[in-house]
Amino acid sequence: MKRLISISVFLLIFSTLALASVIEIEVKMETKGRISALLSSNSGGVLKILPEFYNTGSVAYKARARLDVLNSSDLIFTGWSKEETLMPGERKNFEIYWFSPEAFNNLTANIRVYYGREIFEYSMPLDIGNISTQEDVFQIKSFRAYDDYIKFQIRSDKGSEDVLVIPKDYTDGWVFEQSKIGKISQDRNTEVMIKYEPTVWMSQEISLEVVTADGKYRSVKQFQLEKETGLLKYVHYLEDRIRLLLNL
């Protein structure tokens, strides 16, 4: 009798374990996220927007932030952050900058974070004051355009910290990342590469604004966007390497 009970208990435990081994835990795949913190600052006419984005879902995705500045209903600026990868439960900061040439009141800052195939939106009022007088100290040269990035060199008459490169005045729908350079030495060439995503590619004009984070130094130059192709692509690449090496 005891032996029969022991066998029955063993079979019950074995069947329970076998059943447990085939039970699958289903995790719902959700693409979700939100802005978990938002910092902003304004110094010398340079606006800095720093949203922290939190992947609250169960799917990893790439994300980037966009800033639209509106004066009433008129769109006066669009800027894009760099793209980041967020794993589930991860948080990352995005930086976007705008330089205002004049003081403004009652602006609206629309902040969008594009993640996966979703968009998270947030709006806030914005005032720009205390515009500093800028010195034009930067030279922007050796501009080249490739399939998904542009490359150029910056030279400064003065040593500069926290130098920002802000693409402007390009075709709506295109994405041009901004760039932040920690330091540019006086009278030395610094090479910069900026990624972009076109929709339908076309030749166009683009402005590059180089400004320090405190608004003290600022230069703007316009370029024609023409892709490097053929043999000239390699000739210009070699030329740029030599110029950078010799600091010409």
CA 182/CA 192 separation, integer angstroms: 12
Q: Which of the listed residues 69, 104, 128 is the one where a domain comes to its end?
A: 128
pLDDT at 240: 81
CA 38/CA 52 separation, integer angstroms: 6
For residue 229 the two structure tokens come to 């192709």
| Total domains in the fold of the chain | 2
DSSP class per residue in 182-246: EEE-BT--EEEEEEEE-SS---EEEEEEEEETTSSBEEEEEEEE-B--HHHHHHHHHHHHHHHHH
Is the distance from CB of 245 to CB of 239 less than 8 angstroms? no
pTM for the whole thing?
0.83
Per-residue pLDDT tens over the stretch 116-159:
999 999 999 988 877 778 899 999 999 999 999 999 999 999 99
Q: What is the CATH number of the domain that holds 167?
A: 2.60.40.10
**For residues 232-240, average pLDDT:** 78
Q: Which of the listed residues 98, 128, 158 is the one where a domain comes to its end?
A: 128
